[in-house]
């Protein structure tokens, strides 16, 4: 089938998009198709064409320019959660396009998965305190939503993040619940917990780590999961239809991993096989290594 992208040059097509201040809904598939065709040699010229939005005013440009020094900072994740759209007409449609990317939807889905797990842990607590550790806690939005929906909380959170700006932001957002939250500005690689946890959750973090670090951290933190407790570690799936756009326009590179790879890491970390499985959010783009410690 011949599409609009085949009918005109990429330059002409992108120029047209900019002339109308960004893509409309019916352009989304064509842009994705165009970006999927960008070869390694064409990445820089393509970025030149897209230069008008590769600045912090758009979400994808925020990723590209990395004002906080790295991709996947708390601020961009929060923009995804809040479905933030820059009201400036030069950028609005591009942000709307970003929020329709399957990967962005998967990030919102994974937050819901976390909120559901927190509710379940609280429901089953029987009035006893339960301890939760979150690695790479970022904006702490899943905990925020959990508190918004909860009366009678039994959960106490240790929240570890390397970026003090993330902690300051999360603290300001969580003023009402600070007595349940213990923020620690630390690197998860160096951090050694001083207690065992009923739930250890991490999303948007392990996909930045090499395999050997992934396994090292699994082994370390499994020690600090209480008997009967759970550990849930998120990672982008190798099947991610938004991978190319994240890499080409967002300069956002992650270690994408399959279910088999995640289970293999658990084996390498000496976690018993009958404790492990892989769960996924509804789009299957974010996988989670799930460990139920016996």
Ligand X SMILES: C[S@@+](CC[C@H](N)C(=O)[O-])C[C@H]1O[C@@H](n2cnc3c(N)ncnc32)[C@H](O)[C@@H]1O
Residues that bind ligand X (CB under 6 A): 72-74, 77, 136-139, 141, 160-163, 166, 187-189, 203-205
Cβ 201 to ligand X shortest distance, Å: 8
* Helix (H), strand (E), coil (C) string for 77-136: HHHHHCCCCCCCCCCHHHHHHHHCCHHHHHHHHHHHHHHHHHHHHHHCCCCCCEEEEEEC
For the bound state, the minimum distance from the C-beta of residue 227 to ligand X, rounded and expressed in Å, comes to 25
If the CB atoms of residues 3 and 187 are measured against ligand X, the closer one turns out to be: 187
Tell me how far apart the alpha carbons of residues 81 and 203 are, in angstroms, rounded to a whole number.
13
Residue 147: phi, psi to the nearest 5? -65, -35
Q: Please state, in angstroms and rounded to a whole number, the distance separating the CA atoms of residues 225 and 230.
A: 7
SS3 26: helix
Residue 138 beta carbon to ligand X: minimum distance, rounded to whole angstroms: 2
CB of 32 to ligand X, least distance (A): 23
Q: Which is nearer to ligand X, 27 or 161 (CB)?
A: 161
Phi-psi region of 132 (alpha: psi -120 to 50; beta: other; left: phi over 0): beta
In this structure, what token pair is assigned to residue 217? 């951290």
Between 166 and 200, name the residue whose CB sits nearer to ligand X. 166
For the bound state, the minimum distance from the C-beta of residue 186 to ligand X, rounded and expressed in Å, comes to: 6
Biggest CA pair distance of the chain: 65
Judged by beta carbon, residue 46 or residue 221, the one nearer ligand X is 221
Residue pair 72/166 in contact by the 8 Å Cβ criterion: no
Shortest Å distance, C-beta 74 to ligand X: 4
**Is the alpha carbon torsion for 136, 153, 109, 86 positive or negative?**
negative
């Amino acid at each position: 089938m011949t599409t609009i992208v085949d009918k005109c040059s990429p330059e002409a097509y992108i120029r047209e998009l900019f002339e109308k201040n960004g893509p409309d809904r019916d352009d989304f598939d064509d842009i994705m198709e165009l970006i999927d065709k960008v070869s390694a040699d064409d990445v820089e010229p393509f970025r030149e064409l897209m230069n008008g939005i590769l600045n912090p005013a758009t979400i994808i440009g925020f990723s590209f320019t990395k004002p906080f020094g790295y991709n996947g900072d708390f601020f961009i994740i929060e923009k995804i959660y809040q479905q933030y759209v820059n009201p400036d007409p030069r950028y609005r449609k591009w942000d709307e396009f970003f929020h329709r990317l399957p990967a962005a939807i998967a990030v919102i889905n994974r937050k819901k998965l976390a909120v559901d797990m927190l509710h379940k842990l609280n429901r089953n607590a029987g009035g006893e305190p339960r301890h939760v550790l979150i690695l790479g806690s970022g904006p702490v939005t899943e905990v925020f939503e959990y508190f918004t929906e909860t009366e009678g909380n039994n959960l106490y959170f240790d929240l570890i993040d390397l970026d003090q700006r993330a902690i300051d932001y999360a603290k300001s957002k969580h003023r009402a619940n600070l007595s349940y939250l213990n923020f620690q500005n630390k690197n998860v690689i160096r951090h050694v917990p001083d207690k065992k946890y009923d739930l250890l959750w991490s999303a948007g973090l392990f996909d930045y780590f090499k395999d050997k670090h992934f396994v090292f951290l699994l082994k370390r933190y499994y020690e600090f999961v209480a008997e009967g407790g759970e550990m849930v570690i998120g990672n982008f799936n190798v099947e991610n239809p938004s991978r190319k756009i994240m890499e080409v326009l967002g300069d956002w590179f992650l270690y994408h991993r399959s279910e088999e790879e995640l289970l293999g890491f658990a084996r390498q970390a000496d976690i018993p096989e009958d404790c492990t499985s892989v769960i996924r959010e509804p789009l299957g783009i974010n996988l989670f290594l799930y460990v139920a410690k016996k």
